[in-house]
């Protein structure tokens, strides 16, 4: 019995609210800023021009991420509230129908009807709206949309991710600037992929390869565009 009481479980989905925004923000900060720096460097711009473009990208990207996350997650939150309001009204107007709906949900999960009816009655007495929100609508406290949390997390992690290539761009000799930024950014993406996989309980190698591949592709494409337009303008 003591072993049973001492047993605790930690599930990765408890972190999903901030983890998605954090990984997206940091990844976008690294990739977008590094790609811009490499593209501008490939056009043979001066270090000051490269850094000005990079810093502008950092602030613009952080604000864009915050605004985008807030708006999109707010839309999700509005939808959740509307569903809950509709369910609250249905529970008042047609409780028998809602009870039967809950019974059928439990039956579909393998519970016999008698037990399903008993469970439905007990759960509806305890917390009718919460039970329907969880079992019928798939809404829970863990998965609830939090717009402000997503916005702040995205902005901060974007800024952190964008800072790394800017520091390298400020310190690296101009002849190796693009290569140095690319190498440092790929290393950051590898670390980010590993941290995201660990926090989310996902396979490590798959996560690392995914973020590294798309980051390398973005930087390569931007470098090519910068070189082409730099040669054309020059």
Q: For residue 73, what pLDDT is reported?
A: 82
Backbone angles phi, psi at 141, to 5 degrees: -60, -35
Own/partner contacts of 121-125, CB < 8 Å, gap of 24 or more, are: 124/95, 124/98, 124/99
Which pLDDT score, from 0 to 100, does residue 58 have? 93
In the structure, what pLDDT confidence band is assigned to residue 114 with cuts at 50, 70 and 90? confident
pLDDT of residue 173: 93
pLDDT 10s digits, 217-231: 888 888 787 777 654
Residue 127 has pLDDT above 60, yes or no: yes
Would you place residue 233 in the very low, low, confident or very high pLDDT band (cuts 50, 70, 90)?
Answer: very low
Of 51-60, 69-78, 91-100, 201-210, minimum mean pLDDT range: 201-210
Least confidently predicted of 38-42, 174-178, 201-205? 201-205
What local confidence, expressed as pLDDT, does residue 55 receive?
A: 94
Nearest to 44 by CA among 168, 174, 181, 185: 174
Q: What percent of the chain has pLDDT over 90?
A: 21
Cβ neighbours around 154 below 10 Å, total: 30
**What pLDDT sits at residue 12?**
46
Q: What is the token pair recorded at 147?
A: 């717009």
């Amino acid at each position: 019995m003591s072993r049973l009481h001492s047993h605790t479980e930690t599930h990765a989905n408890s972190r999903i609210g901030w983890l998605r925004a954090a990984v997206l923000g940091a990844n976008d900060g690294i990739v977008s800023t590094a790609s811009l720096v490499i593209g501008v460097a490939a056009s043979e711009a001066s270090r000051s021009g490269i850094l000005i473009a990079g810093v502008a990208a950092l602030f613009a990207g952080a604000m864009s991420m915050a605004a985008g996350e807030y708006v999109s997650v707010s839309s999700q939150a509005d939808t959740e509230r509307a569903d809950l309001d509709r369910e609250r009204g249905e529970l008042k107007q047609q409780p028998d129908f809602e009870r039967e709906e809950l019974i059928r949900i439990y039956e579909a999960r393998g519970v016999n009807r008698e037990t399903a009816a008993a469970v439905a009655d007990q759960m509806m007495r305890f917390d009718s709206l919460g039970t329907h929100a969880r079992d019928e609508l798939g809404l829970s406290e863990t998965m609830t949309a939090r717009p402000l949390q997503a916005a702040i997390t995205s902005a901060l992690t974007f800024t952190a991710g964008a800072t790394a290539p800017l520091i390298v761009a400020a310190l690296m000799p101009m002849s190796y600037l693009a290569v140095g930024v690319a190498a440092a950014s790929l290393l950051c993406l590898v670390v980010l992929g590993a941290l995201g996989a660990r926090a989310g309980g996902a396979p490590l190698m798959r996560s690392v390869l995914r973020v590294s591949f798309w980051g390398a592709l973005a930087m390569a494409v931007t470098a090519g565009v910068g070189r082409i337009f730099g040669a054309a303008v020059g």
